[in-house]
């Protein structure tokens, strides 16, 4: 995206465009260029996302925004994405194949947040462990919970291990099961 020939001023005009996909694309290019307000642009880009466009190619824009946000968090920058990540979780449907990637991206981003910033998501992560796919989302949520809230992780893991549909995954958690008896 950084090879876009438009100037920063032209891109800033695109950020004001009525078309949400154009706004997001321009914000991503500006963020790639390292503009001073890149983090605010990324949070805004997530706010502009129209979740009714999923399933579809618009997911790629969502994914790009999430990866930029995760990179910023990994670099130690603090972005206030709580409301937007909650919005993404609310817009996405649990246990629906079209939404698995969105939910995975959000959960992975929660895992990048500093623990105090991730705390509001603990109930959602526990709910994901208890109710969502044993193949993808539940184990992913467990992994993030372990880093965010160890007590909630222990309870969620015990409940997960008791799920009949998670029986095939017991080998993966044999080490974790031993941690429950510590």
For residue 97, what pLDDT is reported? 87
pLDDT digit of tens for each residue in the chain (182 aa)?
557 787 777 777 777 888 999 999 999 999 999 999 999 999 999 999 999 998 888 899 999 999 999 999 999 999 999 999 999 999 998 888 889 999 999 999 999 998 889 999 999 999 998 888 767 788 889 999 998 999 999 999 988 888 877 766 655 555 555 555 55
Q: Which of 34, 10, 5, 11 is nearest to 24 (CA)?
A: 11
pLDDT at 176: 53
State the number of CA atoms in the 13 A half-sphere of 3 facing the CB: 0
Q: Is the pTM of this model over 0.95?
A: no
pLDDT at 1: 52
Residue 46 to residue 79: CA distance in whole angstroms: 12
């Amino acid at each position: 995206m950084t090879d876009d020939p438009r100037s920063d001023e032209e891109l800033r005009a695109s950020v004001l465009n009525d078309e949400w996909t154009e706004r997001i694309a321009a914000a991503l290019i500006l963020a790639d260029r390292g503009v001073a307000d890149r983090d605010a642009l990324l949070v805004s880009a997530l706010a502009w996302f129209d979740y009714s466009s999923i399933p579809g190619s618009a997911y790629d824009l969502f994914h790009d925004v999430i990866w930029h946000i995760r990179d910023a968090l990994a670099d130690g920058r603090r972005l206030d994405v709580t409301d937007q990540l909650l919005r993404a979780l609310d817009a996405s449907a649990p246990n629906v194949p079209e939404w698995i990637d969105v939910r995975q991206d959000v959960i992975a981003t929660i895992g990048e947040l500093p623990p105090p910033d991730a705390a509001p998501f603990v109930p959602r992560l526990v709910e994901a462990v208890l109710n969502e796919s044993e193949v993808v989302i539940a184990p992913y949520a467990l992994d993030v919970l372990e880093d965010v809230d160890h007590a909630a992780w222990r309870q969620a893991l015990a409940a997960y291990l008791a799920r009949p549909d998670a029986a095939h995954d017991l080998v993966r958690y044999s080490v974790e099961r031993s941690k429950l008896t510590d």
